[in-house]
Structure formats: C-alpha cells, structure tokens
Chain A
Amino acid sequence: MHAILSESLSKTYRSGITGKQPIIALANFSVEVAPGQIFSLLGPNGAGKTTFVKILLSLTHPTSGRASILGRQLPDVKVRERIGYLPENHRYPGYLTGEQLLRSFGQLGGIHRSALRSRINPLMELVGVAQWRSMKVRKYSKGMMQRLGLAQALINDPELLFLDEPTDGVDPVGRKEIRDILLNLKAQGKTIFLNSHLLSEVELISDRVAILDKGTLLKIGTVDELTSVGPEYLIGIGADLTEGFLHEASALLLKLSYTSDSISAQLSSTEELNKLIDLLRKYGIEITSIVKKRSTLEDSFINLLKKEVVS
C-alpha cells in the first residue's frame, strides 16, 4: 500500500466571471509516496505544491486524474481521521485559548474526550507551547502559532502528516526542534509529506524529494540522487604540476582545471580517477586529499529551474 498515490492529477483554476486566463496549477502530476518516509515537495512560489496537498485533502477538486491516500480512493471523509494537516497561512479561531483549540479540533477529529485529555498536555510540551496554554490564540506570535498548528496536526496521532511550510516563522532553535520531532515521528513509522522552500532543511531530513515547477514534475529522487552532479573530484596536491604531467594528462583526455594546491577533475568513471592518481604518483606529486564533489540541494534546485527557463 502507498501512503500517497497520485495518478496524472491535474488542476486548472478558472476564474469564470472575469474571463481571465485559466491557471494551470497542476499538470499530470503522478507521484508515489511509500509509508514511513519523509517526502518533500519543492518548487518556486506558485508551482502548485499547496494545490497538490489541497487536492489530497479534498479542499480542492482535481480537474482530472485520480489519487488515493492510505489506500483509500479520494474523496474519502473517513480517511481524514488518520491524517494530520498543517496548512500554510492557517488562521485559528482567536477566541480560543491554545488548550481549547486543541480540545475543540481534537473533538472535530473524532477523538474521544478522555483520550484527548491525556494527549493535549504532552503534545503542548512537545511543540513547546505549554507555557502559553491558557493564552488566547489571538495573542500568539507567528512562531508560537506555527508550533500550535503542528500540535493541532498531531492531535489525532496521524499515520500520515501533511505539513505546508511547517517552519515558516519559527526561530532557528525551534526549527531544529521541529526537525527532531519529524524525525522522531518517522522513527515511529509515520509518513510525512512536506512542502517547503527551505532546501537546506529539507536536505537534512527527507528520504525523497520531488521538484515541481509550473505544475509539472521536473525531477524526483532521493536527496543523494538529486545532489550528486556527476563524478567531479577535488584532489589536493602538495606540489606544483609539472609540464610532463600536464602533457600526459591531456593525452589521456582528462578534463582538469587546477590551482597551485588542488586539481578539479571531471571524470566519467572511477577507472579514469585511478589513471589520474597513477599519473600523479608517477610524477611524484603528493596527494593530500581526494573528495567527491556534490552540490547542495539548493544548487541543483536552482540549476534545474534555470534549465527549465532556458529550454
């Protein structure tokens, strides 16, 4: 069973009365998320990330395509007992206190009163809002609200969690705390679906990542797959390269660029890497380090979107 299965989901928003251009928010988007994973959906503003989550929650109706979550074909009201959702720009009723809010929304989630009572306090402790439990939500700061929102999403101990920009407005310590909470949830076997812009954060916790732009899937894979940029090596050297070495290297068609203390080599195979090492040894050039270069998720994200613009 997949936690999430989307088959050619498309969504076109039409503004009927004004007759403006229809907006294609999602185009033939297919994706599978296995249970127990942290899956992140990345993409620039307006890429369609929120639209995808909203379709999975039946907040928005797809124009075409099918989707299921936790093995249930959508739309399905009952399956929402097993999911949690932290929307972007959520607005909680300001007249409730943090504690009342968790109780009310827990009740709406179908949780029994007695179960709720034992759940609310530990949850408020977990997300770090326990000291504001009796304060009206109206007075919460942005980061406090976000933490409370996370508690709200977790109130029913969901199997599948949708988080739309969960660390938005949260301070760095809080972000780390939230990351730890998510990793902990993953260790409990929960599936987490994350929408985010914060690539450096996503990189730290995601098992799989998909990049979306203008409603279309550009790339999908593990963080490793998305960040390794072909075999490029940085080799530290202890002495200047000699004429003879350079001559022989170019004869071997090795693509190198160098400074006085390092060589950057683009190699097509480990065989080429070994040839390069042999050559360095032959000329008695000391090797101080060999590092396989990788880009950050941010680099590959930006490169990918740049290519998109060019093509």
Chain B
Amino acid sequence: MKIWGLVTITLRELSAKATLIVLAGISTLIILGIFLSLSSSQVEDGINLMFFGSSVGSPVSHESLHEIVHGIQATLTKGLFWGIVLFGVIATAGIIPSALEKGTVDLYLSKPIARWELLLGKYLGAVVLMLFNIVYFLGALWFVFGIKVGVWNSQFFLSSITLTFVFACLFSIVALLGVLFRGPAIPIIGTFLYLFVGNLLEQREQVLYLISENPMYQRILDGLYYILPQISAMEANIANQITQQGLDWRPFAQSILSAGMLFGGSVAIFSKRDF
C-alpha cells in the first residue's frame, strides 16, 4: 500500500519529464514505420515478405517464414536493446537523487516508511515505468508482425519481460550511485561505464587477460564478472528467447543475486546517512 503510493508518486514524477515523452515518441515512430513498410503476400510457391512494397528474397515456405521473422525480430530487439536500456537509464537516473534532496527526503522519511521501503518504492517506480514502455513498444511490434505477416511469436512479446528484467538489474547500479552521489549525472555516467566494463569482462579471456598474466589479477576479473549483473549475457539471452532457442538461466540467477546485493548495499548506505 505505502510502497504502491511511492510507486505512483514516482510514476508521476517520471511522466512529468520530457525524456519520457521523447522515448514514447521514438517508440511510436518505429512502430508506425514498421507497420507501414512491412507486408506479406501469398503467392503460388509460398509466402512473399515485403518491405516498402518490394519483396525480400524469393517466396518461402510457411516454416521458413517463421524462422526469418524470428530472426528479424531478434535482430531488431538486439539493436533496440541498447537504445531502450540507455534511454531508460537517462530517463530514470534522477529519481533517487531527487528523493534524497534536502527538504524532500525529510518529507518522505517523516512518514511511516522505512528507509528500505523508500528506496524500493522508487526502484519499483522506475521498473514499472519501463515495463509499461517496453510492453507498449514490443507488444505493438508483436501485433504488427502478427497482422502484417501472420507470425504471432509469443516469445517476442514475452521478451519484453526479459528486457524489463535487464533494466531492473541495471537500475541496481543506478540506485547505488544515486544514493552515493547527488544529482543524476554520476549514476548515468557510472552505469554507461559499467556497461562498457561489463562487456570487457564478458570477453575478459580475449581482452583483459592479455594485460597481465598474473593469476591473481585474472581471478579478480573472474570474480567481478560473476558478482556483477550480466547485461551482455542477458542481451544474448533475449535473442535466443525470440528465436525460440530457450533461455539460459545462469545469467538470470546471477543478475538477480548481484542486483539484490547492490540494492542491499544501497539500503545499508542510505540507512546510515544523516539528513
């Protein structure tokens, strides 16, 4: 109940921002673009997939059409993955610092709300907002592919949940940096930096291991890789989900654990603070 109150207040705060309108606008443009350009037609020797009225390749069988569309959806989502995630971080990074501002935090904390509840409410507010956005975006695209080419890929629709999950994990870093620093700048920069470092860690054997042969250094890299949310691995996971190759649960489990730890850390730091 109180948490829900915090979530609604956060949603109000976020919807008052221009970034969000831009995000919704861009999503709508992409949906419309695909809706207008994509079509299919039944011909003698199969189905013709068409972009802007001209067919892509030769007509294909029903099964291969599904495969091709899944491939397109996976590529599309992977391409948009970073866009959505980065935009989402920019749009939401300010909510924790703004709740902790002098004069505002007093108002929240004088209510019967524990400090962890305040953080959790803000966290969930950001996640719920992104869930709406992502479901709107991928849901609409799923519908467009369904009515235009007759491929109703439920996994494509469900990948919106996975994508929201990725955002939620990433937000644990935004939240931690938001508790530590005033203003949204450092959480945004820090999260982008993390995405970059996370990518390097993912490929540590090919890149970072080359810097030093020291086994200690290499174990530290391994350790970091396993304790931080695995965004890159989740990106691959989403592609697999859409092409219906199944999900790898390891990055899920690991990301939940590390996001939980980071959130716990944020709560611990926040609880100690004097305002």
Contacts and interface: CB of A to CB of B under 8 A. Distances in A.
The answer to whether A and B interact is: yes
Interface string B103-136: 1111111111110000000000000000000000
Interface stretch (A27-35, A51-59, A165-173, A294-302): A51-59
B103 to A, nearest CB: 4
Contacts of B107: 85, 87, 90-92, 105, 152
A95 B12 contact: yes
Given A93-B13, A108-B6, A13 B111 contact: no
Interface in A89-113: 89-93, 95-96, 100, 104-105, 107-110
B16 A109 contact: no
Contacts of B274: 13, 54, 59-61
Interface string B1-31: 1100110110011001000000000000000
B106 A110 contact: no
B249 interface: no
A26 B16 CA distance: 40
A308 to B, nearest CB: 26
A104 B125 CA distance: 14
A130 B272 CA distance: 39
A38 interface: no
A59 B106 contact: yes
A78 B112 contact: yes
Contacts of A100: 12
B101 interface: yes
A81 interface: yes
Q: Which range holds the interface residue count of chain A?
A: 20 to 34
Interface residues of B, number: 26
A108 B106 contact: no
Contacts of B108: 108
Interface in A279-302: none
B111 A105 contact: yes
B139 to A, nearest CB: 27
Contacts of B109: 57-59
A89 B102 contact: yes
Contact of A85 (B1, B104, B110, B114): B110
Contact of A96 (B12, B112, B275): B12
Contacts of A104: 5, 8-9, 12
A151 interface: no
A83 B243 CA distance: 56
B106 A87 contact: yes
A95 B16 contact: yes
B43 to A, nearest CB: 54
Contact of A110 (B6, B104, B105, B112): B112
Contacts of B101: 91
Nearest to A84: B110
A85 B2 contact: no
B13 A57 contact: no
A214 interface: no
Given A87-B106, A95-B12, A109 B111 contact: yes
Given A60-B275, A61-B274, A108-B2, A91 B112 contact: no
Contacts of B105: 59
B188 to A, nearest CB: 20
Contacts of A162: 110
Given A95-B12, A108-B2, A77 B103 contact: no
A80 interface: yes
5 A-B pairs with the lowest CB-CB distances in the bound complex, closest first: A91-B103, A95-B16, A85-B110, A107-B5, A87-B106
Interface of A: 13, 54, 57-61, 77-81, 83-85, 87, 89-93, 95-96, 100, 104-105, 107-110, 152, 162
17 contacts: A54-B274, A59-B106, A59-B109, A61-B272, A77-B112, A80-B112, A81-B112, A87-B103, A90-B103, A96-B9, A105-B107, A108-B5, A108-B111, A109-B111, A110-B2, A110-B111, A162-B110
